[in-house]
């Protein structure tokens, strides 16, 4: 009866240890789930940020394309204006020639007036070309500045995306390392718990009182089998494995040997 009470006491201690371990395991699982949810949330934010940056870049490209189209249209307007000015200058020359011919009878005076008029028209044409050229250069400068702004904006956005990605990758690696450390610590705690339970049962069995040995009795080696522990096994199986049944009589504590699931003795 005393031995049975001791076995019940051992089983109660084992169950108590398992309950504590189970609660710790659940706490670890909740912590891990929280870390995983946080990682998934950070990844979602990163994906949204990446999509927003892609939209910005797309808008930059559309803007650049629109500016390029506007520049092409503006160039056509300039070419059209120059063509019109040229036609007007040519018409002015013809009108001037007719006026000179009809006004001056003297050949020398007529040529002089014509030459003066042609010089004035030439100067006007040069001025028109200069203004047009300067306008074109100014447009090129402005469009160049706009191109630089677009390129700088795109490059800056890409750099920001890369920085965010690198930071999230670093944070993710750190979170994973933390999870690995937590898991490793849990495994160490579990192994220590199993060893403590085994040592406690061994100590209690070897220290319990043994009935006196009768003369002529042959010593009997008793075997107390403790199965190997699978840390991933369900709680019910673990409890079942810890329900140890002691022999009714143990003549010598030294005769008690521990066997693992393979039948090998445990020192």
**Looking at residues 14-39, what average pLDDT do you find?**
74
pLDDT of residue 206: 56
**Looking at residues 203-210, what average pLDDT do you find?**
54
Q: Is residue 199 part of a domain?
A: yes
Q: Is residue 251 part of a domain?
A: no
Q: Is residue 112 part of a domain?
A: yes
Q: Is residue 234 part of a domain?
A: no
| DSSP reduced 3-state for 223 | strand
Q: Is residue 218 part of a domain?
A: no
Provide the domain limits for residue 148: 16-210
- Containing 258, the helix (H) or strand (E) segment is strand 257-259
Q: Is residue 231 part of a domain?
A: no
Q: Is residue 133 part of a domain?
A: yes
CB atoms within 10 A of CB 98: 10
Q: Is residue 68 part of a domain?
A: yes
DSSP per-residue codes, 100-115: HHHH--SHHHHHHHHH
**Looking at residues 231-244, what average pLDDT do you find?**
51
Give the pLDDT band (50/70/90) at residue 74. Answer: low
How many domains does one find in the chain? 1
- Containing 35, the helix (H) or strand (E) segment is helix 2-103
Mean pLDDT of the chain: 63
**Looking at residues 223-233, what average pLDDT do you find?**
49
């Amino acid at each position: 009866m005393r031995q049975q009470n001791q076995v019940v006491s051992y089983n109660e201690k084992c169950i108590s240890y398992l309950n504590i371990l189970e609660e710790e395991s659940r706490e670890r699982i909740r912590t891990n789930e929280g870390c995983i949810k946080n990682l998934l949330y950070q990844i979602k934010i990163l994906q949204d940020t990446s999509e927003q940056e892609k939209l910005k870049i797309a808008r930059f490209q559309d803007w650049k394309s629109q500016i390029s189209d506007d520049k092409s249209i503006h160039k056509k307007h300039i070419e059209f204006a120059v063509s019109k000015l040229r036609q007007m200058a040519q018409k002015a020359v013809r009108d001037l020639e007719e006026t000179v011919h009809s006004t001056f009878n003297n050949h020398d005076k007529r040529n002089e007036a014509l030459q003066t008029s042609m010089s004035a028209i030439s100067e006007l044409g040069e001025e028109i070309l200069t203004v047009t050229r300067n306008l074109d250069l100014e447009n090129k400068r402005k469009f160049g500045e706009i191109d630089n702004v677009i390129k700088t904006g795109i490059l800056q956005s890409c750099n920001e995306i890369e920085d965010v990605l690198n930071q999230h990758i670093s944070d993710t690696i750190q979170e994973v390392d933390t999870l690995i450390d937590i898991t490793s610590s849990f495994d160490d705690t579990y192994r220590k718990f199993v060893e403590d339970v085994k040592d406690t049962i061994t100590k209690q069995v070897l220290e319990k009182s043994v009935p006196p040995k009768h003369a002529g009795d042959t010593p009997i080696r008793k075997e107390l089998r403790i199965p190997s522990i699978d840390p991933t096994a369900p709680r019910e199986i673990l409890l079942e494995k810890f329900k140890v049944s002691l022999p009714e009589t143990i003549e010598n504590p030294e005769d008690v040997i521990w066997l693992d699931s393979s039948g090998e003795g445990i020192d």
